[in-house]
Structure 1
Amino acid sequence: MKHSCSLPAFAIALALAACASHPPASANAQRPAPGAPQFDAIFQDVMTRYRLPGLALGVIQDGKVVYTRAAGEVVAGSGQKIDNDTLFKIASNSKAMTSGVLARLVDAGKLQWDDPVTKYLPQFKMHDPWVTQNMQVRDLLIHNSGLREGAGDLMLWPEPNLFTRADIISGLQHLKPQRSFRSGYDYDNLMYVVAGEVAASAAGISYEELVQRELFAPLGMTRCQVGEWNLEQVGNVAQPHMRQGDGNTVIRKDDPIVPVITSAAAGGIRCSLNDMLTWMRMWLNPGLKSASGVPWLSSTQRDALWSAQMPMPISKRQRAWDGSRFNAYGYGWRISDVDGVLRVAHTGTLAGMFSAVNLLPEKNSGFVFLINGDGSDARAVLNSLLAKQLTAPEKGQPVAWYADQLEAERASVPAQNRAPDTSTRVPVSASFKQQGIYRDPWFGEVSLCARGDTVDFVAAKSPGLHGRLMQVGERVLVDWYDDSVDAEAWLTFAPVGGSTTLTMNKVDPDADFSYDYEDLAFTRVRACP
């Protein structure tokens, strides 16, 4: 049965009315554009408190860019300053670009939102044949597949890996749903990869070519990159960082040739602050016009993208900080309210890269910021505090207040929801009985084999998932060699018939959902070489 909860943005607005000792981070900052001094203070406080390697921020009011500022370095300690043209990974803010390109194809009559996915990808299969036949293009964008949150994300991250988009389409049939199709919201990246391939099929060119042709070129977003590109030729590219002690260390540094990545449609586009501001001003323009004055999208399709398609839960923090009374997902955008003002927004998260885009259409205003470090808390603070400055500045609190609230929130997490103490860990011995080659139907093979005095976990198609097996009491976990892979996994073995099965789950229950170990189901297929 088809489930839809679609409410146009203007109707949402009517409903709301009825509801009646560190060095200064600015030492190498690009000179701020003229703007309200409160933005400078917020920028500086967040940069300093969270010791960010780099931050770029832009604010739009009444359709005009009133403030920009960039500070920090593309690589910590390099001396190469971040500016308004520095490229950042925008992560899941790519989703709105994917849905926008699809909307352009709808405007052009090349596809319809209610077309079956199999019309464009005959090889597409879900676990349930009925879902396969009834999955529409629109369903790919609203997180209603029934799969577990982040299901199959281990085919996307950690990067680089050897999974292709064909692997993802093939692997979907092996991912078992946790709820009925269209019955609820669970964030899903794989469906956006499929959506990108649907768009490519409808257009007759690759996803990367399509984004260049339909988005970057007409809007004049000259710095944005997707697909393969030369790092030195493009230049000025922020690298991701993780915190180590009091400093920031580069992780997953780009190769000289940045390759095409499987996750592009879900989270693989890179853009500069200036280009993101161009993107936002188009959305806030009543005629949806590009810099050249030509409409980029019809108002009908903007209404479709900004319609509430799937209800989302409202967190305690959203209610307390933002005064939110509704929360939903549209096509590539989150639709909610801040102090009674409509917000159309999204965030982006990748290892060492955090971002947020906020549009306040009723105010003709918005903001964007890009971070190239461990910026989870910094993003939470900036997202609420900047929105407050544009909706109800008299209700705003200082950065320290928001930061202290986050600390208190963490301290209140029940013990059973925290990572357990695993400090007694010791390497398993080379005689570990469960050694062997194991296979999962969508993730492929992993080896658990002795290497010298230890036993290593090695994923054949995901080189970043390489670690050492450790004994913690009666349990076994895998400790990844790459520190940027920051979610260890418990391993559970069980005899089934004449073989052995292996399942995995997160050691830290609060680890990022994209480490979807719980979706893996391995069977031992042969002995170690």
Structure 2
Amino acid sequence: MKHAIALVLALLTANTVRAAQPAGPTPQAVDATVREAIARYRLPGIAVGVIEDGKVTFARGYGETVHGSGDPVTDRTLFKIASNSKAMTASLLARLVQQGKLQWDDPVVKHLHAFAMHDPWVTAHMTVSDLLVHNSGLPEGGGDLMLWPEPNLFTRDDIVRGLRHIKPAYGFRAGYAYDNLLYVVAGQVAAAAGGASYEELVRREVFEPLGLSGCRVGEFALKDAGSVAQPHGRDGDRIVTTRGDAAIVPAIASAPAGGIRCTLDDMLAWARNWLAPSDAQKAWLGDAQRAELWKARTPMPISRLKRQWDGTHYYAYAYGFRLADVDGQWTVSHTGTLGGMYSMMMLLPDRRSGFVFMINGDGGSARTVLGEALLKLFTSPDTSKGVASYADDLERPATPASSATPAPALPDIAKRTPVRPAELRDWLGVWRDPWFGEVRLCAVGDAVEWRSAKSPKMHGRIGRLEGRYLLVWDDEAVDENAWLTFAGQGAARALRMAKFDPDGDFSSDYEDLAFSRERDCD
């Protein structure tokens, strides 16, 4: 009898919660919210889609694939989805588990004999599961310079070999720090277990069975891809194309972590597979593996704004997805960031609803604000603060104290002075870092150039600014300039680097590099 009463109460409570949920947003409300974000952040282009109760209720492109071109963004425009690729990589592994080709608790070395972390004990005990949940001990973004800027010459085998040289920032399984390299390793595990390249497996095991016909991974010809959004940045007040695609888009080592491209139509089909799977989709991936993908694995820090805006009490990483409560409702999501491209997929599984959008501009703040404003249309429209207010909150210092003591302004790069070869004669030469490889610090005319052997976009000139050596990159595709520090004498000479902006993109992980001098310049 007790169990029967408890069951009735549980059902009544669930029904009450469902009844209390607000109705989904109207197309007019979605459109107005998107247009307000576009205006606030001057976005060159964006594609937005909404699903309610398993059905697509809104799908629209805004702006242009290339700013000023007149070529419109549509629901068939291809965007880089960046780290939203991680859920596809995790799903590929789940497919292989379902097929009996690997297990989540398999040691990585069972499939990749060359795999090694800095600590031999961690090497022996790291499992396939550990690759996906950001608790390995690697520093945040550790080794990302082997992935970006792209394209570069680092292979996935280089990445597997390089991991052993990256020192941990904390204990194995002892905390959360976002990384990309282990998703590349996960792609190599999939290739070893599946008997084909990562790209072939993703096409065969994910794209084809789910009908994601517009998604691309690996090399392709730009002319064959139809409408393709190009990334944009800012040059002062101007919106400019940056990191544009070549005629042949190359395969990239980072694909399992963030190298897949999809259209809005594809991303809506991908989202519907999770929210309202058909019988065929449930056969593609059964309930057991779907549940594995959405189990909370690693607790994540909850930001001040998530607590303030959403009343969030838990936030955790699963296999390629993030889990959180928002206004008392369960959400499953991820974002993507990749050099002038930003994306978000937000699912509310209990409502079979959610949204996706992709931006081809300088849209980090825009993604945060638009994502919050659209989410509130589902979870709490009556208390939504709207785009303008969320944007103001994001720009406001966290505390009155921080307002009174702002962070010191960065030095003016334009005031740097060139460094002549004679000034650095004791430091010129070929240098090597154990995982990043060889760089040349050599005279070029009356200047000193820094040039990477395996990352061709990473070349620049050395200058002096406020008594320090500053490396300013020639190529706009390299996100963060770097301070250089020289120390030691003779064979003990060392070169270290640090981000010019201490708060800059964590993927510019210069602080993890430790160069030793190998020989003179040729």
TM-score norm. by structure 1 comes to: 0.91
Report deviation, 1:289: 2.8
CA offsets, 1:73-99, max 9 Å, x none? 111122211100000000000000000
CA offsets, 1:249-293, max 9 Å, x none? 1111111111111000000000000100000001012xx337x56
Distance in 1 of aligned mates of 2:190 and 2:158: 18
Q: Does residue 1:317 correspond to 2:305, yes or no? A: yes
> Counterpart in 2 of 1:522?
515
1:353–1:410 distance in 2 versus 1, CA, 3 Å:
farther
- Paired residues for 1:297-312 under 5 Å: 297-312=285-300
> Counterpart in 2 of 1:506?
499
Unaligned runs of 5+ in 1: 1-9, 18-33
Q: Does residue 1:441 correspond to 2:441, yes or no? A: no
Report deviation, 1:474: 2.2
Report deviation, 1:484: 3.6
Report deviation, 1:245: 3.2
> Counterpart in 2 of 1:289?
278
> Counterpart in 1 of 2:21?
none
Report deviation, 1:498: 2.8
Contact 1:305 1:330 in 2 (8 A): yes
Report deviation, 1:127: 0.8
Letter paired with 1:289:
S
1:460 pairs, out of 453, 458, 462, with 453
Distance in 2 of aligned mates of 1:272 and 1:528: 47
Report deviation, 1:473: 2.6
Q: Does residue 1:91 correspond to 2:82, yes or no? A: yes
2:369 pairs, out of 378, 381, 400, with 381
1:409 aligns to what SS in structure 2?
coil
TM-score norm. by structure 2 comes to: 0.92
Report deviation, 1:504: 0.7
> Counterpart in 2 of 1:178?
169
CA offsets, 1:298-322, max 9 Å, x none? 1111111111100111010111122
- Paired residues for 1:77-476 under 5 Å: 77-285=68-276, 288-289=277-278, 295-409=283-397, 412=402, 415-416=406-407, 419-433=410-424, 434-476=427-469
Distance in 1 of aligned mates of 2:482 and 2:496: 10
1:197 aligns to what SS in structure 2?
helix
> Counterpart in 1 of 2:487?
494
Distance in 2 of aligned mates of 1:417 and 1:104: 50
Report deviation, 1:496: 5.1
Distance in 2 of aligned mates of 1:266 and 1:510: 23
Contact 1:124 1:170 in 2 (8 A): yes
Contact 1:419 1:509 in 2 (8 A): no
CA offsets, 1:306-364, max 9 Å, x none? 11100111010111122211111000001111111111100000001000000111121
Letter paired with 2:396:
A
> Counterpart in 2 of 1:68?
59
Unaligned runs of 5+ in 2: 1-9, 18-24
For the aligned residues, what is the CA RMSD?
1.9
Distance in 2 of aligned mates of 1:294 and 1:361: 15
Letter paired with 2:479:
D
Distance in 1 of aligned mates of 2:444 and 2:398: 39
> Counterpart in 2 of 1:25?
none
Structure (1 or 2) with the greater helix fraction: 2
Contact 2:151 2:250 in 1 (8 A): no
Report deviation, 1:485: 2.1
1:293–1:423 distance in 2 versus 1, CA, 3 Å:
closer
Contact 1:436 1:524 in 2 (8 A): yes
After TM superposition, the structure 1 stretch with the greater mean CA deviation from structure 2, 483-492 or 98-107, is 483-492
Report deviation, 1:425: 1.5
Contact 1:417 1:510 in 2 (8 A): no
1:457 aligns to what SS in structure 2?
strand
Contact 1:46 1:382 in 2 (8 A): yes
Report deviation, 1:36: 2.9
Contact 2:332 2:347 in 1 (8 A): yes
